[in-house]
A and B are shown apart, each in its own frame.
Chain A
């Protein structure tokens, strides 16, 4: 079956540091890949997505590239802010029906 593996957290960074969160997946077909973000006490929001190999998703300074050869979708941001403190979830879906398979989530804490 499909699965998503994320690096464990928490990840603690200083403001303006570079952030990378690793995500790898296993899938039988050609999934779409997503990063969702959850701020404290809130639901999940879509951060970015990529629907085919070599696509790069980007939003709010975050980027992730769909790497089929390494089955990875690592999230990066060049300079984090305190407001980026949240839990980040990598997820995949196959087909058009929208069922998502999530990783366990990575908590990111950014300190001033």
Chain B
């Protein structure tokens, strides 16, 4: 079955370190997204991509970067991890097939910055 997978599922890192969260989808979806989930804020969009070589900033992009070298993967990099980036991160993907197309989410990556 097609799916979307994230790794690692749990990570503890130190302040100032670079961290990369992987996201891989096998649906051949054009659109991919990274969200972070924090209590009281719901999910907030970090970065998104509408296709290979396309990346865009979302609502909370400071301190994060993404790259899209192929259709299947959208890795999220924290350039210099900060305690404020302790969160649960969700990758998601969707087709570009018109209004209301469904977004599918991965199971999340729990990141703790100490």
A100 sits at the interface (CB 8 A)? yes
Residues of B within 8 A of A43 (CB): 90, 105-108
Interface size class of B (residues with CB under 8 A): 20 to 34
List residues of chain A with CB within 8 A of the CB of B27. Answer: none
The contact of A51 among B43, B45, B48, B99, by CB within 8 Å, is: B99
Q: Which residue of B lies closest to A106 (CB)?
A: B42
- CB-CB < 8 A to A51: which residues of B? 99-100
Assuming the contacts A43-B107, A46-B102, asked whether A100 and B96 have C-beta atoms less than 8 A apart, the reply is no
User: Which residues of A sit under 8 angstroms from B53, Cβ to Cβ?
Assistant: none
B65 close to A (CB within 8 Å) = no
Tell me the nearest residue of chain A to B9, going by C-beta.
A41
Given A102-B42, A102-B43, verify A44-B105 contact (CB < 8 Å). yes
State whether A99 touches B48 (Cβ < 8 A).
yes
Interface centre among A36, A46, A51, A97 (most CB of B within 10 A): A97
Q: Which residue of A lies closest to B94 (CB)?
A: A98
Chain B residues closer than 8 Å to A93, beta-carbon distance: 99-100, 103
Do A49 and B102 touch (CB < 8 A)? yes
List the B side residues contacting A96 at CB < 8 Å: 96-99, 101
CB distance from A97 to the nearest CB of B (A): 6
Question: In whole angstroms, how far apart are the Cα atoms of A112 and B101 in the complex?
Answer: 36
Within 8 A of A (CB), among B55-114: 58, 90, 92, 94, 96-108
Give the residue name and chain of the A residue nearest to B41 (CB).
Answer: A104
Known: A98-B94, A99-B45. A32 touches B99 (CB 8 A): yes
Known: A43-B105, A96-B97, A96-B98. 15 other contacts (CB 8 A): A42-B108, A43-B106, A44-B43, A44-B92, A46-B103, A50-B100, A51-B99, A89-B43, A93-B99, A97-B31, A98-B94, A98-B101, A98-B103, A100-B103, A104-B41
The 5 residue pairs across chains A and B that have the minimum distance between CB atoms: A32-B100, A51-B100, A102-B42, A98-B94, A43-B105
| 13 sampled A-B residue pairs with Cβ under 8 A | A4-B42, A42-B107, A43-B108, A44-B43, A46-B104, A51-B99, A89-B43, A97-B31, A98-B33, A98-B94, A100-B33, A100-B43, A100-B92
